[in-house]
Amino acid sequence: MSHRDAMYRWRRASEKDRQAILADRAARNHPLHSPFHLSNRDARTDWFLITAACYEHRRIIGQSTERLSDFAQHLCQVLTENSRSVTAWVVLANHYHALVECPSIACMLAALGKLHGRSSYQWNLKDRRRGRRVWCKAAETAMKSEGHFFATVNYIFHNPVRHGYCRRWTEWPHSNVQQYLAAVGREQARRQWNAYPLHEYGDGWDPPEL
């Protein structure tokens, strides 16, 4: 379950259910009110899907095309500076995804936290919404297998289509899909799409092990 889904579950829960949730998190040594983060050692991989959404999934990033483009540029800079490789990324009006190989997921999440802080300040100033909460914390999912990796690539690039922003991957400008296709070729990308279908990937924001 993602941090966003956990937040919504918390709001709907009765007091009894909330106490049970807190007890379960305490038993797992997880933070009580924030996402549990893996270390590279715990995950046994350096490949992660990173996801972050605007608070309550509001369309704050997509307030304008200029804001979307500007944030995508800054996100790419942070991803590149804190990773060995950035395979796929996409920015939508209220969330983003990225598939990266990074030597320290903790450092990556810290850098993204700073990006969230800077963008929150700038956007709230421009929108005259001082004190507004803009972001939920970024969360990571470790890649479990080759199938999981390629299904994640498909999921990221298909996200604008899934959410109704466009009809084809290549029509959405706020991703690196064009660079990816140039690197692997359209035929290889098509084979990957057919070999690693999405099925229920993304439901609950917790990809299944493939």
Average pLDDT estimate for 51-80: 97
Helices and strands, number each (H, E), in the chain: 8, 4
Most confident of 9-13, 17-21, 26-30: 17-21
Q: What angle do CA 131, 135, 141 make, to 5 degrees?
A: 160
Average pLDDT estimate for 45-60: 94
Average pLDDT estimate for 103-122: 96
Rounded Cα distance between 169 and 175, Å, is 9
CB neighbours of 50 closer than 8 A, spacing ≥ 6? 97, 98, 99, 100, 108, 109, 112, 138, 139, 140
Q: What is 37-205's CATH topology? A: Alpha-Beta Plaits (3.30.70)
**Cβ(123)–Cβ(115) below 8 Å:** no
| Per-residue pLDDT, 23 | 60
Task: Parse the chain into domains and list their residue ranges.
Answer: 1-35, 37-205
Average pLDDT estimate for 159-183: 96
| Per-residue pLDDT, 199 | 74
Average pLDDT estimate for 118-129: 97
| Per-residue pLDDT, 27 | 54
**Cβ(134)–Cβ(52) below 8 Å:** no
pLDDT value at 201 more than 90:
no
Mean pLDDT of the chain: 83
pLDDT value at 4 more than 80:
no
